[in-house]
Amino acid sequence: MTQITEKEVASPDQSGSPIYRRLQRLVNVEPEEIKALFWAFSYFFAILCGYYIVRPIRDEMGIAGGIENLPWMFTGTFLVMLAAVPFFGWVTSRYPRKQFLPYIYGFFISNLLLFFGLFTSDITHAYVARAFYIWASVFNLFIISIFWSFMADIFDTVQAKRLFGFIAAGGTAGALLGPMLTALLVVPLGAANLLILSAVFLGWPILCFNRLIAWKEKLQAVSPDQNEPEKETDALNMGGSIFAGIHLVLRSPYLMGICLLILLLSTLATFLYFQQLQIIRDNFSDGSERTRLFAAMDFVTNALTIILQVFLTGRIVNRLGTGWTLAVIPIGLGVGFLILGFSPVLAVLIVVQVLRRAGNYAIMRPAREMLYVVLGKEEKYKAKNFIDTVVYRGGDAVSSWVYPGLQSLGLSLGGIAFVAVPLCGLWAWTSLKLGRKQEKMAGDG
């Protein structure tokens, strides 16, 4: 095998190129990281563009079923997640990373083609619509969780702090384009044909994945002693039980702390989501007006997110550290719930929801993924997938029943908002503890 020199990985020409100089104004990227940054950015762009093409179809089916049926939808999603985790554990135990990640994308592409066949057939049963709603919710969490698992595997802690914000902006760009494509093409093509377009976008991540693996192997060839254990395991399966993700979580206080963070995040997001649906339903009787407002909120959220990701996320992480970066959103949301408690009106709800979602995508999510960078490969894939899917959707399912339960006790929208404030405080405290632990494990503290 020909030895690859460091000059081949990072040439002086790259550091002096116009592209590099322009990138340096946006993100603190090293010359040898430019190609990897492009592939990671476009990888996340394609994933979220493909998802946001089908998301309006999912939401339409969920709304048509009635808000009162959403807890059942959330519960169904959780049960599917619960069943999917052992399958994911089996795949990761049996196949090496180079094989199982492309297999997973191929699996979801085949699912889209299956639903295309069902939607274009004579079958119009409500169960097909409900199955698609649950599938889309599972699909969303799985592909994003797997993407960030791979990013935590490819980049180290120092690189993650510099690059994850910009990489996350690729997803936001896709989240902006996806709904625009749906709005432009749904009438001339029909909703079912958009599933084919989504499947096309899901093919691109397979190429990006292979290019990132090649980039990582070049770096390892330059420094053969660095990351040698990881290099050896790239060609092998991880082994272990199909339930290894659950066992890893139960044995690790650090991973249990991440579980608590995710439960609090999903619980408070569900509370705000139900308040959003109630307030908007009470203010707009026309379905098209509600759809227009939802679309406007999505657009403003994603536009604000990409601005934050490109210009601020990396700087915030480097200035505040992982712990305080994680705590920014729960502290801000606590203030938002407090204001909403005193004034549960549409304008306040819109501002709080848009800022929460933009902050979660731009700041909370990249910082949250940094928690996994210091862990081993099994934790990055198996434990992380269990937390991001089962734990997250479990929080959704439980809180979707708790919310109407609080209403049945006589609590108003404002009263429920006040209940959420101390939960935000617990979320912020958990974030600080986890951030400090991560920095200690990384050797930064």
Domain-wise residue ranges, the chain: 30-441
> To which H or E segment does residue 422 belong?
helix 413-441
**pLDDT tens digits, residue range 251-288?**
999 999 999 999 999 999 999 988 887 888 788 776 55
Please state, in angstroms and rounded to a whole number, the distance separating the CA atoms of residues 378 and 239: 9
Please state, in angstroms and rounded to a whole number, the distance separating the CA atoms of residues 445 and 438: 9
Between 332 and 144, whose confidence is greater?
332
**pLDDT tens digits, residue range 34-83?**
888 899 999 999 999 998 888 777 766 665 556 667 788 788 888 887 77
What's the pLDDT score for residue 9?
44
Please state, in angstroms and rounded to a whole number, the distance separating the CA atoms of residues 240 and 90: 9
- Mean pLDDT lowest among 86-95, 135-144, 241-250, 389-398: 86-95
Which whole number is the average pLDDT over 349-354?
Answer: 91
pLDDT over 90 at 332, yes or no: yes
CB-based contact 78:292 (threshold 8 Å): no
Please state, in angstroms and rounded to a whole number, the distance separating the CA atoms of residues 253 and 218: 35
What's the pLDDT score for residue 375?
87
Between 434 and 189, whose confidence is greater?
434
Average pLDDT value for the chain: 80
What's the pLDDT score for residue 10?
46
- CA–chain centroid gap for 135, Å, is 16
What's the pLDDT score for residue 389?
78
The CATH number of 30-441 is which of 3.30.420.480, 1.20.58.220, 1.20.1250.20, 3.40.50.970? 1.20.1250.20
Between 196 and 244, whose confidence is greater?
196
